[in-house]
Chain A
Amino acid sequence: MSDVAERVKKIIVEHLGVEEVKVVEAASFIEDLGADSLDTVELVMAFEEEFGIEIPDEAAEKILTVKDAVDYIKTAIG
């Protein structure tokens, strides 16, 4: 896994209080990792802070899985 993926995974584990093994690429924040809508807003904020990027609401709404997050961030930071 890439550095971005590792950092994303760490944030998810911290914020959602889930076991690391459950945070696989295909995992959905809400369906698989027990997040609610407020958790996902906070997750996106944590990603913004960690990677120094701004994720617009329209883009944030499409970030539903671990892979979505990693892909978006990779593109955003170039």
Chain B
Amino acid sequence: MTRRVVVTGLGLVSPLGCGVDINWTRITNSESGIGAIQSFDVSDLPAKIAAQVPVGETSEGKFNADEWVPPKEQRRMDAFIIFALAATAQAVADSGWVPADEEARCRTGVLIGSGIGGLSEIARNALLAESGQVRRISPFFIPAALINLASGHVSIKYGFKGPNHSVVTACATGAHAIGDAARLIMWEDADVMVAGGAEAAVCRLGIAGFSAARALSTKFNATPEKASRPWDKDRDGFVMGEGAGVVVLEELEHAKKRGAKIYAELVGYGMSGDAHHITAPAESGDGAFRCMQAAFRRAAMNPEDIDYVNAHGTSTPLGDEIELATIKRIFGDAVRNISMSSTKSSIGHLLGAAGAAEAIYSILAMQTGLIPPTLNLDNPSEGCDIDLVPHVAKERTVRAVLSNSFGFGGTNASLIFKKFH
């Protein structure tokens, strides 16, 4: 018999704030987390805006690193790991899961990924190496930058001794991490998995690199909150974001036995590769189609069973329309009954954390019966004629959600969550 996997804890650090509640309040209130970059010089960069995690007091819903990681420990890790630890602390506390003995600790694993890892640390230490200051390179540089060290730090902090793993699939990382972690539970490698994604690549090198790839929005530097506009005619690229999303996944009987609060069941997970181009999506949408199809097959569900789609929808000229056309193809007539939105219109593109943050928003949409909006959708592009929840959140009953994530390299992941009764 297949072991069923449910979600029992949520944790989120995003450009809208630190904490699940503040995020949900702000995103359903049509607020934007995008602004002018203040933390470093952008004078020579084409994109001068980003969706950065607001730093400040926890009581105001902002992010205070000292609250999550002791200052001394912070020197050992890049910001993406600090974000991961903060989101994990929230998710673990929310789940109420505290392994009582060694056996339980060994049945609890961690699978947190990142798209890029410690880019700021790499940039900073590269400058030292190139300017003859090799002796000043910190012994903490490598462990601070390594992607799997998010999972490593979480396991060390909590004593979770089960599978310790990590995923790197660019912008599909968060979704792959959650899907793969669920499989580890299904295959009995673990009973509980802490899973998600973290990213902190908003730095000069990161903005310069994505700008060079012509991936970022550059036309809205003066009006940052208007820059991320999925499916709108004036969209011109994505907005870099940062943060972390982490969920606690648990085998159903394990969760029931301890009386855990169950947010949703993860019923579908699909993956595919485009085999097309390093950065551009395949125009046929073939990879995305097969990815969603695989998720439906795994879930033993049909498109008619889905009420909300949290789209990848990055606000790039090519990707948005290909995804929408593919959704129409896979949903057929049922496309008229779904609501689809892109929460990237509010929080930008969290890269390796995007799929995890969006899985959380999807689950909350199901929980609350409120669908977060697509901001700035003033003039939909031709063919973008389904319910894209423009501007304001929409109330509706949501039985199940589909969340898509597609990454550079032509990697695709789709997750389906279902209400748990």
Contact = CB atoms under 8 A, between A and B. Distances in A.
Interface of A: 15-17, 38, 41-42, 45, 48-49, 54
A41 B76 CA distance: 13
Nearest to B71: A17
B421 interface: no
B138 A17 contact: no
A54 B139 contact: no
10 contacts: A15-B72, A38-B76, A38-B143, A41-B139, A42-B75, A42-B140, A45-B136, A45-B138, A45-B139, A48-B135
A38 B139 contact: yes
A49 B139 contact: no
Contacts, number: 22
7 closest A-B pairs by beta carbon, nearest first, are A17-B72, A41-B139, A38-B139, A42-B139, A38-B140, A42-B138, A17-B71
Nearest to A17: B72
Contacts of B76: 38
B71 A54 contact: no
Nearest to A40: B139
Nearest to A38: B139
Interface residue SS majority, chain A: helix
Interface residue SS majority, chain B: loop
B203 to A, nearest CB: 22
Contacts of A42: 75, 138-140
Nearest to A39: B139
A54 B134 CA distance: 13
A15 B71 CA distance: 10
B70 interface: yes
Given A17-B70, A17-B72, A45-B136, 5 more contacts: A41-B139, A42-B138, A42-B139, A45-B135, A48-B135
Contacts of B135: 45, 48, 54
B359 to A, nearest CB: 35
Contacts of A17: 70-72
B78 to A, nearest CB: 15
Contacts of B71: 17
Contacts of B140: 38, 42
A48 B133 CA distance: 12
